Amino acid sequence: MASISETNGEMRQSLRGRTALVTGGSRGIGRAIALKLASLGAKVAICGRDAAKLAETEAALRKQGATSAAITADVTKAAEIVLLIEHVQTTVGPIGLLVNNAGMGIFGPVHEKSEEEWDRLMNTNLKSVFLVSRAVIPGMIARGGGDIINISSLAGKNVFAGGGIYCASKWGLQGLSGCMAEELRDRGIRVSTVCPGSVATEFSGRGPKDASKVLKPEDVAHAVAMIATQREQSFVSEVQLRPVRKG
């Protein structure tokens, strides 16, 4: 794999021949990641629950000349994931790069949150990573390697009022990712996390912020590309991503 610091001509094809699956890939950070990986030569499959948005993003991928697929799937449900992985591997190729990006935010004091809100957020932010990774890992082991990149958050490293259940999901994701990395590194599989601060997307966050003081989806996509294109003997386990100007 080529380094992201190499020339643009080399970097444009640095993921050539690899198949990537991006969950939550229809909009925001997921869309930016999918387009970035395609620009580096990867074949890209995206999944999500919004068929119209998936179609829009797949059209953008095809406009770039990428081999792509867009699959409607709920990654909190194991049965749908089985069908998703089968479809990707049949129509696009064996998954060598998995980006677990699907996520949501629910904020407010813990004592005001419902059990349904807890379950919905944990299923989306944490259980989905377990389920999709579990489905993809055996194939990576059989092929002798792969990359799993989990989109976490600085909320998985810090706490703030109103962030109780969201922070819990991201702290959990950090722990899951770290343990997976230790279990899989001797199999040639690298598991990494990207931990962005606030990003300018439709994501349900903590209120409006100065757009000049938050990250853009493309910033997160660049970090994913950096990890995906690292040399084979290296292992970037975590990237913490902050805007230059403090909000």
- Residue 177, token pair as written in the block: 């990712």
**Which candidate in 19, 166, 193, 198 is catalytic?**
166
Contacting residues for 237 by C-beta, under 8 A, at least 6 apart: 178, 181, 190, 191, 192, 193
Tell me if residue 166 is catalytic: yes
Decide the pairing of beta strands 19-23 and 68-72. unpaired
Q: How far apart are CA 36 and CA 32, in angstroms?
A: 6
| Three-state secondary structure call for residue 8 | helix
- Residue 184, token pair as written in the block: 């899989």
Q: How far apart are CA 132 and CA 175, in angstroms?
A: 16
CA nearest neighbour of 141 among 208, 71, 94, 89: 94
Element (H, E) at 238: strand 238-241
- Where in the sequence numbering do the catalytic residues fall? 166
